[in-house]
Structure 1
Amino acid sequence: MSCDDVRPCISAGPGAAYDPATGVITAHLSTDAGNTLVVGGDDGLFVPAAADATVTTGCGLGGDGSVGAPLTVATGTWPYACSADTSGGVVVCGSDGVLRSEPRGKASFVSYFEERMYPNLTVPNGFDQPGASFSTDVTNPDPCRDALLIVWREVDVDFNLPAGAGAGYGQDTDEMYYTRNAGSSLNTDVHVQTTKTFHNANLLGPGATVNIPLDVTFDRGTGGATYNRIQINIRVLMISL
């Protein structure tokens, strides 16, 4: 078998060329745009280093793409006493190919008001006697994070107190206000608005709803004391960070 028989077989695949007139086999270099493969000074195939090409980087990237200076993310210095490994946030790639940080924190505030009128009902004696029950639903508007709920519950009750009468009201089992008429004439629409603040026992999940109750109770009703109005406010601050 002669060389003429073998050479076409060697150059039959991609990447090689054969000149039947000279019998020379050479590398077939692509003419596609961006190809940097050339024949070097020693007749070997040569790819110029990335530093020989022009690399442009924008904000957030460092390096020039060469072996000695590869492209890297430009980061700041962690300034906190805690570890970035355990306390640091995350950066992810969005569906649009854009880097995204963790969701932003949210704070929202809701308020519920209700007023009920009564035909001068007798204030019961004893302690923590049932009066009226109120409630409102609160929904966490954050689709990502749990929310801490800070709740303010306000109550205002109007009492009519004959001479010597006394009356009090509270929230659940906590007496918030007591008054007594020490004068000799009827006192009408005696009232004081009180507020109790607390945080909800459990964090409220993303998009979840919780019911905030408020039970108004009465105590120590004496001397013909009556009530004719109960006004309440339930105010909720939701914080998700």
Structure 2
Amino acid sequence: AGGTNLLHEGPEGLYVECADVRSCITAGDGASYSAATGEVEARLSTQAGNQVAFGPDGGLFVPPDAPLEIGCGLQGAGTAASPLAAFPIAGQRAWTDNWACDDTDHSTLKCDPDTGALWTPPEHFSATDHFMINHMNPAIAAIGPTSGWTILQPGGTPAFVQWDIPANFLGNMCRFWGYETDTHASVDITANSTATFELGYVLAIDGTVDSIRPIEGVYTAFGASRRERYAGTVSHGYFSLPPAQARLVVYYPAVNVLTGSIAVNAWNSDAMLHTQTRA
């Protein structure tokens, strides 16, 4: 009663034909039903990006996400415990407000393919140093002839102007670097009547004499004792030293008395150093 009766009577009792009841079954969301076969199964969405599939055992299966590929300049696992983050290598100087260049056109940020880290080339630096020395304390009463250039030794100690530039000076541990020195001499000399002489500096680099740097020469004797002041400047530069290399630059006040004798009353060195990192 109540509709089409699908019951049948057979030798063993009442029964229902499968084909008769298949049209009574429907499938809702997430299910699929075939009235032809009577098969009910899960219905997979055809929406792009759907990860649900039938596994090898016939069950529903969602494959795990592939591990995150961490590109250059990133670190972390992409999880709450280890989130993705930039992977920088610290520079020597903090970012300051007076750097006016825009980040797009003037950034030196790079990604190192060997380490996977973001880095910038080491900064350029420069420095200037200046000092003045009065070497003749005490004065040298008389010297000559010297048979060549002689470093002055007031009180028995060699006079000198020195720059001992360390291997980690202002960024030169990373970059090639160079320097320029100049030394201005102001010299007070008393020469006897037969004196002929030269004034200058002996330049030594890393403990080895590099050259003689003359500043003044008197090659004709005065014929009478005289006191005079002489002045001159000598310089030296080097522009492509390897990174992390130290340099010792020393100027020694020196004279070459050819004939007669001279007294060195005063010798002032006004010295300047400029250093700068390079490529």
Aligned amino acid, residue 119 of structure 1: A
**Given the alignment of the two structures, is residue 136 of structure 1 paired with residue 163 of structure 2, yes or no?**
yes
| Corresponding residue SS for 2:148 | coil
Distance 1:212 1:163, change over 3 A: same
In structure 1, stretches of 5+ residues that fail to align are: 1-16, 28-38, 49-74, 77-88
Distance 1:25 1:216, change over 3 A: same
**TM-score if structure 1 supplies the norm length?**
0.54
Distance 1:101 1:120, change over 3 A: closer
Match of 2:215 in 1: 176
Cα deviation, 1:24-58, whole Å, max 9, x if unaligned, reads 4134xxxxxxxxxxx4xxxx23149xxxxxxxxxx
Q: Percent identity of the aligned residues?
A: 12
Query: Which structure is larger by alpha-carbon Rg, 1 or 2?
Result: 2
Report the alpha carbon displacement of residue 221 of structure 1 after superposing the two structures with TM: 5.2
Of residues 27, 45, 48, the one that matches 1:46 is 48
Runs of 4+ in 1 over 6 A off after TM superposition: none
| Partners of 1:149 and 1:204 within 8 A in 2 | no
Match of 1:157 in 2: 187
Q: For 1:204 and 1:187, locate their aligned partners in 2 and report how far apart those are by CA, in whole Å.
A: 49
Cα deviation, 1:130-189, whole Å, max 9, x if unaligned, reads 3134123124211531211122233332101244433321222343312366364x433x
Match of 1:114 in 2: 133
Cα deviation, 1:69-99, whole Å, max 9, x if unaligned, reads xxxxxx98xxxxxxxxxxxx87137xxx996
Q: Please give the residue correspondences for 1:29-44 in structure 2 after superposition, counting only pairs within 5 Å.
A: 39=45, 44=46
**Given the alignment of the two structures, is residue 124 of structure 1 paired with residue 164 of structure 2, yes or no?**
no
Q: For 1:238 and 1:204, locate their aligned partners in 2 and report how far apart those are by CA, in whole Å.
A: 14
| Partners of 1:123 and 1:222 within 8 A in 2 | no
Give the aligned length: 165
Calculate the aligned-residue CA RMSD, in Å. 3.7
Report the alpha carbon displacement of residue 114 of structure 1 after superposing the two structures with TM: 1.7
| Partners of 2:126 and 2:170 within 8 A in 1 | no
